[in-house]
């Protein structure tokens, strides 16, 4: 078994610490800890280790599922990891828990690297690559890629890096393809609640639907490392079995903050965060237009525009921006598209403004040089 290095994390590890402005963060800016009570009492494990039953019941309601169909995890990352462990590596004797065995996954790309690298390490992956400019999802392409040994089809909606939010009808069609082939549809929905019009989560679509998410991106609570998976009980049960060997329980302080964030305060937090995302999206749209770049207008706070003229590719552009202007962007080759870069606009407004201005100051002389050369030739 071999795992690819996580390219995006390595890029951030190289540049983020020294840079002034992080303009590649994919989530909304972090909330201040002072907004929450941080004292859960005695600092033991969460008991039971799959999470507080009442909170699981209330999270389950969001999917039309019971408390036993929800497992709390350390973020979406662990929720996805446990789902892959359960479906792609774990072959219980046939019929033991009703989950079909399979080592193959179909993954819709471009996407967050963990969603294809982990199943690639455990089994075999067929990618269904979407294309710009609109990154449209084609259920027939999923149908062509699916095999008898496909355990799971993987989608991230809204998507990182493109910001594409596939509509409910297409997602339903993909769900039907998965279900007809006795595979699960796993949808990473970590950006879903940044949409002002969220679609039904995949775990609510039927027996083959699994949703993963967390309080990281839409709530601005990455540091509490609190997320979950919701889906059919045998899958959740198997994921819990694996979780005993990863992190045992979710973090107690994370769960304590999650109870507050998912309770009375939720509407306020989400509407604040959506307002910030919407205002910033308008601001970034102006910036994109001003520099003549192409993009798909995103849901969430990730943009995936084309690289400005005058740069060889996204890597050269992002390296120049971070070295000359102290601003971190993410090169598109990390997602398989070297002619693009990812920009995150969920950060506080003054930082966004400063970051965009600094990037403009890197772009403008290069573009002018290209245009000057073009006129002279």
Ligand X SMILES: Cc1ncc(COP(=O)(O)O)c(C=O)c1O
Site residues (CB under 6 A) for ligand X?
Answer: 26, 75-77, 112, 156, 160, 188, 190, 214, 216, 222, 227
CB-wise, 26 or 181, nearer to ligand X?
Answer: 26
C-alpha to C-alpha distance for 57 and 297, rounded to whole angstroms: 36
Which residue of this chain has its Cβ atom nearest to ligand X in the complex?
75
CB of 339 to ligand X, least distance (A): 21
CB-wise, 75 or 346, nearer to ligand X?
Answer: 75
CB-wise, 56 or 116, nearer to ligand X?
Answer: 116
CB-wise, 229 or 235, nearer to ligand X?
Answer: 229
CB of 212 to ligand X, least distance (A): 8
CB of 109 to ligand X, least distance (A): 12
| Three-state SS sequence of the chain | CCCCCCHHHHHHHHHCCCCCEECCCCCCCCCCHHHCCCCCCCCCCCCCCCCCHHHHHHHHHCCCCCHHHEEEECHHHHHHHHHHHHHHHCCCCCCCCCCCCCCEEEEEECCCCHHHHHHHHHCEEEEEECCCCCCCCCHHHHHHHCCCCEEEEEEECCCCCCCCCCCHHHHHHHHHHHHHCCCEEEEECCCHHHCCCCCCCHHHCCCCEEEEEECCCCCCCHHHCCEEEECCHHHHHHHHHHHCCCCCCCCHHHHHHHHHHCCCCHHHHHHHHHHHHHHHHHHHHHHHHHCCCCCCCCCCCEECCECCCCCCCHHHHHHHHHHHHCEECEEHHHHCCCCEEEEECCCCHHHHHHHHHHHHHHHHHHHHHHHHHHHHC
CB-wise, 77 or 199, nearer to ligand X?
Answer: 77
CB-wise, 310 or 346, nearer to ligand X?
Answer: 346
CB of 82 to ligand X, least distance (A): 12
CB-wise, 190 or 321, nearer to ligand X?
Answer: 190
The maximal CA–CA distance of the chain, rounded, in angstroms, is 74
CB of 40 to ligand X, least distance (A): 20
CB-wise, 75 or 310, nearer to ligand X?
Answer: 75
CB of 58 to ligand X, least distance (A): 19
CB of 41 to ligand X, least distance (A): 25
CB of 92 to ligand X, least distance (A): 27
CB-wise, 77 or 255, nearer to ligand X?
Answer: 77
What is the radius of gyration, based on Cα positions, of the chain? Answer: 21
CB of 157 to ligand X, least distance (A): 9
Query: Whose CA is closest to 213, among 173, 370, 221?
Result: 221
């Amino acid at each position: 078994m071999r795992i690819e290095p996580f390219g995006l994390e390595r890029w951030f590890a190289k540049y983020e610490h020294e840079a002034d402005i992080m303009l590649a963060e994919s989530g909304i800016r972090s909330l201040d800890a002072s907004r929450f009570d941080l004292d859960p009492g005695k600092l033991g494990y969460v008991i039971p280790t799959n999470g507080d039953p009442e909170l699981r019941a209330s999270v389950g309601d969001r999917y039309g599922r019971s408390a036993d169909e929800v497992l709390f995890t350390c973020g979406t990352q662990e929720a996805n990891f446990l789902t892959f462990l359960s479906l792609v590596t774990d072959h219980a004797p046939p019929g033991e828990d009703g989950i079909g065995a399979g080592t193959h996954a179909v993954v819709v790309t471009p996407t967050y690297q963990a969603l294809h690298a982990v199943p690639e390490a455990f089994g075999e992956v067929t990618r269904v690559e979407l294309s710009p400019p609109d990154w449209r999802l084609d259920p027939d392409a999923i149908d062509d890629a699916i095999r008898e040994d496909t355990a799971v089809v993987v989608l991230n909606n809204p998507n990182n890096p493109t910001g594409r939010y596939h509509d409910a009808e297409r997602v339903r069609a993909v769900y039907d393809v998965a279900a007809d082939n006795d595979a699960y549809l796993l949808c990473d929905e970590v950006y879903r609640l940044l949409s002002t019009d969220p679609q039904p989560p995949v775990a609510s679509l039927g027996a083959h639907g699994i949703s993963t998410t967390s309080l990281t991106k839409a709530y601005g609570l990455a540091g509490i490392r609190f997320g979950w998976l919701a889906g059919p009980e045998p899958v959740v049960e198997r994921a819990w079995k694996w979780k005993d060997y990863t992190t045992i329980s979710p973090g107690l302080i994370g769960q304590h903050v999650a109870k507050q964030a998912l309770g009375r305060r939720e509407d306020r937090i989400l509407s604040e965060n959506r307002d910030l995302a919407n205002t910033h999206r308008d601001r970034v749209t102006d910036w994109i237009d001003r520099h003549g770049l192409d993009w798909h207008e995103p849901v969430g706070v990730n943009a995936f525009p084309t690289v400005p003229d005058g740069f060889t590719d996204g890597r050269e552009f992002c390296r120049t921006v971070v070295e000359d202007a102290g601003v971190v962007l993410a090169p598109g080759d990390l997602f398989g598209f070297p002619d693009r870069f990812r920009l995150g606009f969920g950060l506080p407004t003054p930082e966004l403004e400063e970051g965009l201005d600094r990037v403009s100051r890197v772009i403008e002389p290069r573009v002018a040089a290209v245009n000057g050369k073009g006129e002279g030739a």
